[in-house]
Amino acid sequence: MKCVVALLLFGCLCLVFSYGYVSQEIFERSKHIWNKLILTHHWPVTVCKMNNSLCKDPPTVWTLHGLWPGKANMCNKSWPFKINEIQDLLPEMIHLWPDILHPNASQLWKHEWLKHGTCAAKLDCMNSEHKYFSKALELYKKYDLNGALVKFGIVPSTSYYQMKDIKAAIMKTYGVMPKIQCLPPDCGQSPQILGQIEICFTKEFELRNCTEGESKSHHFLKDTPVDCSLKQEDFCVCNDTLKTYYPPVNQTWN
């Protein structure tokens, strides 16, 4: 009888540990599920500003920050970045996807591959390092953000813009809502600083609204008072009611 009880207890423990393992595995898999691609551009002058860096000759166009599969990240840590696999892409990568803060962009590309590319590889058309970076470059050139802004008179300036006008330029060009991010204003200064723009796609590479299904908990919302204890260390969704500064390349900061 004691043997039977012991066997039953052992069996229950095995089920508990097995269930725990399966639950953890399901949780890990769920972190890698995604349903939209985010083509992310940033404005080099603002990147320099937020890092308190005196960038030497920053690019004069919006450059690629990355191609991100939703919130999924680090889907295969054992899949290393090998720069020799994208040798033929390097001339374009250096021009369109530079590391604004460092001369050697290979660390940025390594980061983008490990964090985002290994998740994007779920799609056959991006299931290799070369395919992933090629697709990002293809989308960047096809959906020309620089050209879209210039077409509607949104250019770097010492004057300020209304956020609605920046949004309108992008929406009239692509027909979908982008996600536009700024550095929040320093206390005592009213304008926010334009910094990052996201254009979103379905897994079939059809344009879609970036705002679908997003939580607003971390957004810099309309009519939200500025918290003077916060520092300009990261981007947040731009405030629709504040004046927006799109700094020119020759801008010098106080």
Q: How far is CA 187 from its chain centroid?
A: 26
Residues 6+ apart with CB under 8 A from 57: none
Catalytic residues: 65, 112, 116
Per-residue tens of pLDDT for the chain, all 254 residues: 554 445 444 454 444 444 444 333 433 455 678 999 999 999 999 999 888 877 888 999 999 999 999 999 999 999 999 999 999 999 999 999 999 998 889 999 999 999 999 999 999 999 999 999 999 999 999 999 999 999 999 999 999 999 999 999 999 999 999 999 999 987 656 799 999 999 999 999 999 999 876 655 444 433 334 444 445 558 999 999 999 999 999 876 55
Global confidence as pTM: 0.82
- Strand, coil or helix: 98: coil
Which long-range CB contacts under 8 A does 75-81 form with residues at least 24 apart? Answer: 75/32, 75/118, 75/119, 75/121, 75/122, 76/118, 76/121, 77/114, 77/118, 79/114, 79/118, 79/121, 80/114, 81/109, 81/110, 81/113, 81/114, 81/129
**Token pair for 227:** 């918290």
Asked if 157 and 246 count as a contact pair (C-beta separation under 8 A), the reply is yes
Q: Domains plus CATH for the chain?
A: 38-245 (3.90.730.10)
